Amino acid sequence: MFSKACEYGIKACIFIAINSYEGKRVSPKEIAEEINSPQAFTAKILQALVRHNIIESVKGAYGGFEVSKNEIKHIKLAQIVKAIDGDSIYNGCGLGLEKCDENHPCPVHDKFKGVRDELKYMLENTSLEELALNIKSGASFLKA
Amino acid sequence: MFSKACEYGIKACIFIAINSYEGKRVSPKEIAEEINSPQAFTAKILQALVRHNIIESVKGAYGGFEVSKNEIKHIKLAQIVKAIDGDSIYNGCGLGLEKCDENHPCPVHDKFKGVRDELKYMLENTSLEELALNIKSGASFLKA
DNA sequence: TATAAATAGGATAAAATTATCCGAAATAAA
DNA sequence: TTTATTTCGGATAATTTTATCCTATTTATA
């Protein structure tokens, strides 16, 4: 469904958000440990998220990654997914046709529409806040 | 969503089904042309589909790939997808956790449930027959 | 039985994704 | 201003996925 990079990106954002609530910046090292991901690879993904203005980084001593406390509730899963995997999950054809739309549908076009729309709705309506709070309360987990 | 191999596999099955209705066997060459895929790679996927008893192959002169006419309506997309991509699309965690279930859910576990169930329902209830008939009638297309 | 036409399958190669390493640049604090 | 800390970014490597090539094997027909 999502690439590894995207999975790491989502989990990283959640962990960063949790710490940002408490005014704490976190390093790629801490993040990688907490979400069980390769550190250097995770760092690359964090860079991409910074470039897409989803999270912020502060260089130098006492630096790290954070996300604006006010933004946490406004950041949706869709933004993170789009930043890392692009929008093929929304717009791409289920069978990989270059051109696939109502006028020239692939064999599963209509069948997929419902699934895709539900996925899209879910991604666009799930906020980082919601996911972070569930981790904090122990209702969900970032690693096995 | 699906791997390239799986996309090719689904399209190949549809084309084979269409021809099997008319008692015609088809070669990897014809298939690849019709579904716009690399021929040798497609041939490998056909072999896998044969091993999974989804399609049949006949070696030698006048041979080719076919699917039993009576089976076409009973073959579901789910079988093809499972044969090629495995069942990670059903059972795998959306965020890649080794262990992710009701008791130890990843952050998006519940959110994903609906999407995954709908996808599963769709794959299990869409028959090769239905897809093949839509291609025959010109309602959908195997390539752009 | 010989021949031509097909699939089967092993060995590689190319491309994309995932992952690692290391030095440069930035920054806070001593 | 120096130092320690930390992100940035380029280069490279490993792995997986996708793709190609070539030979062996099978089979219908002449």
Tens of pLDDT along B51-81? Answer: 999 999 999 999 999 999 999 999 999 999 9
Question: What is the number of alpha carbons within 13 Å of residue A25 lying toward its C-beta?
Answer: 13
**Encoded tokens for B134:** 């839509």
Protein A40 CA to nucleic acid C23 C1', in Å? 15
Domains within chain A, CATH numbers bracketed: 4-136 (1.10.10.10)
Say how many CA atoms lie within 13 Å of A94 toward its Cβ: 22
Query: What percent of chain B clears pLDDT 90, i.e. is strictly above it?
Result: 98
**pTM to 2 decimals?**
0.95
Contact (CB, 8 A) for B104 and A141? yes
Pairing of strands A64-66, B56-58: unpaired
Give the pLDDT confidence of A34-58 residue by residue, as tens digits.
999 999 999 999 999 999 999 999 9
Q: Which nucleotides of D are covered by protein (CB under 7 A)?
A: 4-10, 17-22, 25-29
pLDDT for B112 beyond 90? yes
Q: How far apart are CA B29 and CA A35, in angstroms?
A: 46
Q: Which two tokens stand for residue B42?
A: 């497609």
Contact indicator for B14, B132 with CB cutoff of 8 Å: yes
User: Which of B97, B114, B135 is facing A143, going by the closest CB pair?
Assistant: B97
Q: What is the ipTM score, two decimals?
A: 0.93
Residues 6+ apart with CB under 8 A from B5: B41, B45, B84, B85
- Return the residue matching tokens 């070696």: B59
Q: Are A78 and A123 in contact (CB under 8 A)?
A: yes
Q: Are A19 and A34 in contact (CB under 8 A)?
A: no
Nearest residue for C8, CA–C1': B47
